[in-house]
A and B are shown apart, each in its own frame.
Chain A
């Protein structure tokens, strides 16, 4: 039997320490052995009085601006976040995603991601015009990559070294492309004069 692996017979015991050895070595071993002691067992436990809610349905928060919502909701939920309301072109894109497509549709999520990128581009331009431009050095925390740490990270047997080189391209790429386009436009304008 010793040369037959576990799945090929009915009840070959696993090689492991005894419960006594585990209890002696590991604080609290087996304290939740009984599923009755596990707070998430069973998964659903009907007990509305346990939550602290003293309402059947919560008061409705005031809707101070038209709040976008998933079309899978039957109504606007009574409480919601109010930070960063929809605005501009990104707001139009995001509002379309919410109003037109349910959460099961890829278009819903891709439109939201497009809205994210449109908004961040606009935010960078506005910040530059307001003379408080984004600083890719301080905002990425890249200075924490002292030479020693960086080398240590790459010397080790990490799996992420195969793709970490892409990160600077993702961060710097849009800046370089925007700068290049700006330079081309500026040069074209100067040449016409």
Chain B
């Protein structure tokens, strides 16, 4: 089969690989029909995630058709059109039994601090991802779900991570009626988080980024006020002034490890890998939130420490809430919102690229060229 393979930092190519095989009775093999590049894939692509091995295939956002199932699979059959959460999870461990699907303890030998994720280095279990023609899907009775007939492929693939993560981020903020919510980062997750904040009754939603074309999308898609942070001297002071010097009730960090805004933080994290991530957005969130407020983190960070302003968080009495998203837990309610016309995920898709040209897709997305917001990958094209 054809698959994207990692060749080292900033380098990927498409190669022939063996079609994955059933390795566990509850495995399924899925023929991928549509995949996506996630902002967190860029952390792998830039060599920031430890134990990212040469020859592995990225991609934790994908949908497809069931090609083969293991002997114990009861809920799927060959030919089913399925969407697969980015979490690999067993459904039965201490954490899964409590709904923490993203924190499963039965699927990742390499680390206990993170669950299993498709195509996201050996630090998350060493599974190949879906930027390929076929992918192994463990626990086929637990994670994958048959795509409803009314749902398009584009919407379905976006629900496997980005939409669910944005929606989850807004929930982590514990938004109350009338709250002022600031979202840091106008990428796909930030856009969905901003849109979701309204569902929870926010009174104001402000999106902050440095890319004008993404801020335009935040105004159009997420009905948000926006700030290009390069236009102000001090983002935190701006946030204070915008809230009558109170600070935001809720700040959502949807930027994560490669947040821009500080040359030193960028170079020490993204370039030199001396930090698990550039905590620029996280520090702005801590300093821009009101005392007693909530900071929600859904932007991804690596396992090495980051230079976070923890003293301010303590002194302000902030509540910090974060996790990788337990995706499938979000789906029933998100399906309702889509059917009610409250949300159309595919409105943010900017590029569709054949798998054979995936290196171009990564570079467009990484360098933010051609007004790139969300790149979908077509294995069959």
Contact = CB atoms under 8 A, between A and B. Distances in A.
Contacts of B319: none
B99 A171 contact: no
B310 interface: no
Contacts of A30: 177, 198-201
Interface in B33-68: 47, 50-57
A49 B214 CA distance: 42
B105 A77 contact: yes
B246 A7 contact: yes
Interface string B67-78: 000001011000
Contacts of A7: 244-247, 290
B359 A58 contact: no
A180 interface: no
B171 A58 contact: no
Given A29-B199, A39-B330, A160 B7 contact: no
B171 A39 contact: yes
Interface stretch (B146-154, B155-163, B364-372): B364-372
B203 A59 contact: no
Contacts of A54: 72, 74, 141
B168 A40 contact: yes
A138 B53 CA distance: 20
Contacts of B112: 70, 72-73, 103
Contact of B362 (A31, A112, A141, A150): A141
A157 B245 contact: no
A158 B337 contact: no
A30 B203 CA distance: 10
Contacts of A83: 53, 55-57, 126-128
A20 interface: no
Given A33-B177, A44-B100, A120-B8, A28 B342 contact: yes
B368 A160 contact: yes
Interface in A22-71: 22, 25-33, 35, 37-41, 43-48, 50-59, 61-62, 67-70
Contact of A33 (B9, B127, B200): B200
Given A79-B139, A141-B363, A14 B178 contact: yes
Interface of A (DSSP majority class): loop
Nearest to B143: A52
B199 A28 contact: yes
B212 interface: yes
A179 interface: no
A29 B271 CA distance: 41
Contacts of A52: 75, 91, 141-142
Given A31-B337, A81-B128, A171-B10, A103 B90 contact: no
B35 to A, nearest CB: 16
Interface residues of B, number: 113
A140 B101 CA distance: 34
Contacts of A15: 244
Contacts of B329: 39-40
B315 interface: no
A62 B23 contact: yes
A187 to B, nearest CB: 27
Contacts of B228: 157
Contacts of B337: 28, 31
Contact of B359 (A57, A72, A140): A140
A57 B92 CA distance: 7
A53 B90 contact: yes
A37 B333 contact: yes
B26 A119 contact: no
A167 B10 contact: yes
Contacts of A158: 210-211, 230, 260, 368
Contacts of A76: 109
A14 B266 CA distance: 35
Given A17-B203, A30-B177, A164-B367, A157 B359 contact: no
Contacts of A40: 99, 168, 171-172, 326, 329-330
A149 interface: yes
A29 B337 CA distance: 11
Contact of B333 (A32, A33, A46, A160): A32
What are the 10 closest A-B residue pairs judged by CB atoms, nearest first? A28-B342, A141-B363, A81-B126, A53-B91, A51-B91, A120-B8, A112-B50, A69-B109, A81-B127, A48-B97
15 contacts: A6-B244, A7-B290, A16-B204, A19-B178, A35-B174, A45-B98, A52-B141, A53-B92, A68-B109, A79-B24, A116-B50, A138-B359, A144-B363, A149-B369, A158-B211
